[in-house]
Amino acid sequence: MKFRENLTIALALIAFGLSIAQMIHPFGFVVHPGILLVIALLVVLRYAMRWQAKRRTDILKDVPPRPLGLSDDESETR
């Protein structure tokens, strides 16, 4: 999974670099620099959301199934 995370960041950096280069000196293909910036921001947002989801699942793995120590057997006896 490390490769996929690094690839996402690399693609965002490439899109950002191309947008800056396109702003400074327009070259071959005609793509508005704003579109490249939006692509870079969307890729970074995707990375941040995946990182947050991974953190959330890691936190949930540490929570015991009965966090308050309650069980089904205790509720039947009362």
Q: Which amino acid is at 18?
A: L
The predicted model scores a pTM of: 0.62
Please give the mean pLDDT across all residues of the chain: 81
Short-list 31, 38, 37, 3, CA closest to 17: 37
Long-range contact pairs involving 70-77 (C-beta distance under 8 Å, separation at least 24):
none
User: Which pLDDT band holds residue 47 (cuts at 50, 70, 90)?
Assistant: confident
Neighbour-count burial of 70, counting CB atoms closer than 10 A to its CB (0-12 exposed, 13-18 middle, 19+ buried): exposed
